[in-house]
Structure 1
Amino acid sequence: MAAVNLGSTGGSADAGAATTPTRGRKPAPAASAPCAVGAIVPGATRAAQSGAEHVTEPVAYDAILLAGFGGPEGQDDVIPFLRNVTSGRGIPDERLEEVAHHYRHFGGTSPINEQNRVLKAALEAELASRGIDLPVLWGNRNWDPYLNDALGEAKAAGYTKLIAIATSAYSSYSSCRQYREDFADALEDTQLGDVIEIDKVRQFFDHPGFVTPFTEGVRDGIAGLLAENPGLERSEIEVLFATHSIPSTDAAKSGPAERGFGEGGAYAAQHRAVAEVVMRDAAATDVPWQLVYQSRSGPPSMPWLEPDINDAIEELPAAGRKAVVIVPLGFVSDHMEVLWDLDNEAIETAGEHGLAAVRVPTPGTHPAYVAGLVDLVLERVNGTPVAERPALTELGPWYDVCRPGCCENVRLGFRPALAGIAP
């Protein structure tokens, strides 16, 4: 079972700092989201209120809102953090303690908060190097500093127009819409709905800044295995692109239904498309690969996306494979689900089956990734025409404003959310 198997996904599911007192609390679910007269996108700037797929009107934003998942920073934080992650699901603390041992193993500390501190600093340095005067606020969905803390900072500084970056690249409920819902929660909690407007950059799964670190990692991973294992053939290596599994029903609802993404919805389609680009650009089209999933949770009777990475690894020797490159394609940093589920469990499974294995890095603070995030912000600042926006797959560039009905949580239905056409 994974580190946050009770509700996290891709991107920012979580070394770190010492325990510090929390400044705030996770906001309660919003009853509604503020919507200007005549607008169809709640909480948006005037440029985005009409719900255009791509907003090409420039916007003078006051600040960037870096939105993270959050993670505990001490043993006393672990259970309260997991309560936040599973809020509303009625899971007893005894059950939460079953997954808490992953955090206990690392002293109760998830690396994700420190990683986001470093990412925030890297963004600030990149902005400064370009002469861009945009402060970066940081708030988390599930732990201190919370999103409502960040909005409080914005109010104190007089910032009224924010452009958000969610630390998750793909489309699904938990990797996109849930962030948008939490923006609405934070606005209602702070009673700043009539003061602060929040837009969000597009999902960046196929932006060169996000993809380049993986391409480099696959190229280096294959080369390293060949160098360290004399006689190993390229055809004997399998590249496993790993991402967080999600319920099949939620996957089917990811992305606009009218685009017909097929099994797994936009979530699976985006990952497959990016994996193809990575293998092509890494000059590795002759190396076998597959998309696999990790960190599933929920009752066994509930279908989730498959195959599980460990099941896939177990089958590789019979297919003639002798080595495996593990690519954490669904994640932006080395949070707990990468450190535990991949570096611990998947690498151990590979060793048990006689496979040489390497795990390539996540984007983290790779210069291309940091620069790419700033470029995504500038798309909205400058109102960049869609034809001039980089996208490495035919699926993108993705929408600036999420489409109606996109990424529904089938279990919970639609809750108020920003940065998308309601519902």
Structure 2
Amino acid sequence: MALRPLALPRQLVRPAARTPLLSQTPRHHLATAVPPVTQDATSSKGPTAMVFLNMGGPSTTSEVEDFLSRLFADGDLIPLGRFQSYIGPLIAKRRTPKIQKQYADIGGGSPIRKWSEYQCEEMCKVLDKINPESAPHKPYVAFRYANPLTEEMYTRLLDDGFGRGKGGRAVAFTQYPQYSCSTTGSSLNELWKWQTRLEGKRGGNETSAGSIDWSVIDRWPTHPGLVEAFARNIEDQLKTYPEDRRSGVVLLFSAHSLPMSVVNRGDPYPAEVAATVHAVMQRLNFSNPYRLSWQSQVGPSAWLGAQTSDTVQEFVKRGQSDIVLVPIAFTSDHIETLYELDLEVMEEANSPGVKRAESLNDSPVFIQALADVARDHLQKGERCSKQMTLRCQGCKSERCLEQKKFFAGEQASSLVL
């Protein structure tokens, strides 16, 4: 499906209705035009397919209902019990008008596809130079709930000469730096499903001869390049405060929340997000007070807290009105940053001291970090991390078990528990 360009300048693009207080403060956080990309593969023994995995987002408001239907049908992300296939579409239909308005307020759609494609292609250009033995590196994006969907990406891989008896190497590179069964795990479940359908032998999960050789970059929460990219964006925002107030600004790291049923099952995500936060604060020499909060709770069930919106409100009530929001689990702008943080949390705070650090988007430091992560993975020759071989302590999913065995490979599948 063709993308409708988001006609948004680099400067702030605001909805019509804004509070007078915030309208005085220039911002740079809404969807922006993505710089053009030119591929510069040096070529040698490749090609290697580099597949970015992410949740995705609707590129136009007309795609919102399909996006929500897929999202609420995914029990890995939002567990709704045995009636999920019935309840999920109802929730999606009911929420569609509200979410369509939110996307309209940030320019008519999510920029996550544009940023993901840009980041992947730019990373491949760097990777061709720093790891020429696996070049050329070919960029692909696979979204869980929006175009391009996983099955679309897999078909492209096959059409481009991977698999179908020709073999070839592909790396599934999660764009969730911190692993969760509800995000990376769900994306890998979907990838494994389509691998089985399109390349698996009938009657089992064995791969056919000449199928794609997969490996996975399944987490990278404390990679030095990722930490550096976050730290620099925080430092840039801190410089906007008067020097005498700068060290007292609270850094409020915010990540997408999880249902407590998922947390209590043993999901590693909260610990890995906390590890990223601690690594960033180490890089900043613990220059400021900081906290970690959680956002994007959906539905009446218990979710991991404290909630970001509540945290900001409480700080402001107590007189702490200098706060920098840091989206620590997101690798580019999308609705959780552009709408939820910028147009809900910040406007409700009604304080000019509440600001947000830039998202990673087109950060050269971040692009280099992506390439470094990929190069290290390719040179180590690992199928996945050792952490991925462990299921959550309370996991009962046979699909998760089989998916992990597949990506771990024949030699490491016996480690999958």
**TM-score if structure 1 supplies the norm length?**
0.72
Q: Deviation at 1:315?
A: 1.5
CA contact (8 A) 2:142 2:153 kept: yes
Determine which of 245, 249, 260 is the counterpart of 1:232.
Answer: 245
CA distance in 2, matches of 1:286, 1:406: 35
Segments of structure 2 that go 5 or more residues without pairing to the other structure are: 7-44, 75-83, 163-167, 201-206
Moved more, 105-114 or 162-171: 105-114
Match of 2:4 in 1: 17
Moved more, 410-419 or 95-104: 410-419
CA contact (8 A) 1:181 1:417 kept: yes
What is the one-letter code of the residue matched to 1:247? P
Q: Deviation at 1:78?
A: 1.3
CA contact (8 A) 1:170 1:203 kept: yes
Moved more, 370-379 or 308-317: 370-379
Change (3 A) 1:276 1:293: same
Change (3 A) 1:116 1:224: same
What is the one-letter code of the residue matched to 1:382? Q
Match of 2:142 in 1: 139
Moved more, 267-276 or 96-105: 96-105
Match of 2:127 in 1: 127
Q: Deviation at 1:298?
A: 1.9
CA contact (8 A) 1:17 1:114 kept: no
1:360 aligns to 2:347 (yes or no): no
CA distance in 2, matches of 1:366, 1:211: 12
Q: Deviations over 1:67-89 (max 9, x none)?
A: 23222222321111211112263
Change (3 A) 1:169 1:78: same
For residue 148 of structure 2, give the secondary structure of its aligned residue in structure 1: coil
Match of 1:345 in 2: 344
Match of 1:173 in 2: 181
Match of 1:113 in 2: 113
1:406 aligns to 2:392 (yes or no): yes
Aligned length: 338
RMSD: 2.9
CA contact (8 A) 1:250 1:410 kept: no
Match of 2:172 in 1: 164
1:332 aligns to 2:328 (yes or no): no
CA contact (8 A) 2:54 2:175 kept: yes
Change (3 A) 1:348 1:416: farther
Match of 1:188 in 2: 196
Match of 2:58 in 1: 72
Q: Deviation at 1:321?
A: 1.7
Q: Deviation at 1:295?
A: 0.6
Change (3 A) 1:201 1:188: same
Q: Deviations over 1:56-115 (max 9, x none)?
A: xxx987321122322222232111121111226333112443433322434541111111
What is the one-letter code of the residue matched to 2:94? E
Q: Deviation at 1:401?
A: 5.9
Percent identity of equivalent pairs: 20
Match of 1:223 in 2: 239
CA contact (8 A) 1:169 1:175 kept: no
Match of 1:312 in 2: 311
Q: Deviations over 1:216-261 (max 9, x none)?
A: 122222221125xxx53623x2110000011122123345xxxxxx
For residue 232 of structure 1, give the secondary structure of its aligned residue in structure 2: helix
Q: Deviation at 1:412?
A: 10
What is the one-letter code of the residue matched to 2:4? A
Pairwise mapping of residues 140-289 of structure 1 onto structure 2 (< 5 A)? 140-159=143-162, 160-192=168-200, 193-194=207-208, 195-227=211-243, 231-232=244-245, 234-235=247-248, 237-255=249-267, 266-283=268-285, 285-289=286-290
CA distance in 2, matches of 1:110, 1:408: 35
Match of 1:30 in 2: none
Q: Deviations over 1:392-421 (max 9, x none)?
A: xxxxxx925612323877899847524355
Change (3 A) 1:303 1:94: closer
CA contact (8 A) 2:52 2:120 kept: yes
CA distance in 2, matches of 1:316, 1:61: 52
CA contact (8 A) 2:4 2:59 kept: yes
CA distance in 2, matches of 1:168, 1:407: 21
For residue 240 of structure 1, give the secondary structure of its aligned residue in structure 2: strand
1:99 aligns to 2:99 (yes or no): yes
For residue 278 of structure 1, give the secondary structure of its aligned residue in structure 2: helix
CA distance in 1, matches of 2:192, 2:128: 30
CA distance in 2, matches of 1:211, 1:309: 21
CA distance in 2, matches of 1:409, 1:226: 50
CA distance in 1, matches of 2:388, 2:270: 18
CA contact (8 A) 1:66 1:137 kept: yes
**TM-score if structure 2 supplies the norm length?**
0.73
CA distance in 2, matches of 1:248, 1:208: 30
For residue 331 of structure 1, give the secondary structure of its aligned residue in structure 2: coil
CA contact (8 A) 2:171 2:215 kept: yes
